Amino acid sequence: MIKSELVLRIAERNPHLYQRDVEILVNAILDTIADALARGDRVELRGFGAFSVKRREARRGRNPRTGEAVAVSEKAIPVFKTGKEMRQRLNAAGIGEGSAETGA
């Protein structure tokens, strides 16, 4: 699902709200989460999961095409960890069943 689909679904479930207002709300929520992560804060949505930032140290990498050693700078990586309720909900729904791996 992409952001525009999320906005449409929320607007459909809440006919008393205009779609443009729902879009403003969704953008405000996502911007607030992004701003908190940029400050290094952790964002926890109970029952859904937690967003946090991890730091990757600077290191020496390799250019896969030439094999040349390259300096890779330190990076901040966003991380999402699902909450217990979300994991239970996904497992109860049978997500992944009937995939190509099982031949179903």
Q: For residues 57 and 75, state if they share a domain.
A: yes
Q: Which two tokens stand for residue 7?
A: 């906005």
pLDDT at position 104, please?
42
What whole-number distance in Å separates Cα of residue 82 and Cα of residue 47?
A: 8
Report which secondary-structure segment, H or E, holds 58: none
Q: Range of 27's domain?
A: 1-41
**3-state DSSP: the chain helix, strand, coil percent, rounded to 5?**
40, 25, 35
Q: How many domains does the chain have?
A: 2
28 domain residue, yes or no = yes
What whole-number distance in Å separates Cα of residue 43 and Cα of residue 57?
A: 23
Q: For residues 71 and 31, state if they share a domain.
A: no
CB 69 within 8 A of CB 62: yes
Q: Does the model's pTM come out above 0.85?
A: no
pLDDT at position 94, please?
75
Kindly list the averaged pLDDT for each block of 10 residues, start to end, along the chain of length 104.
96 95 97 96 95 95 93 95 92 68 46
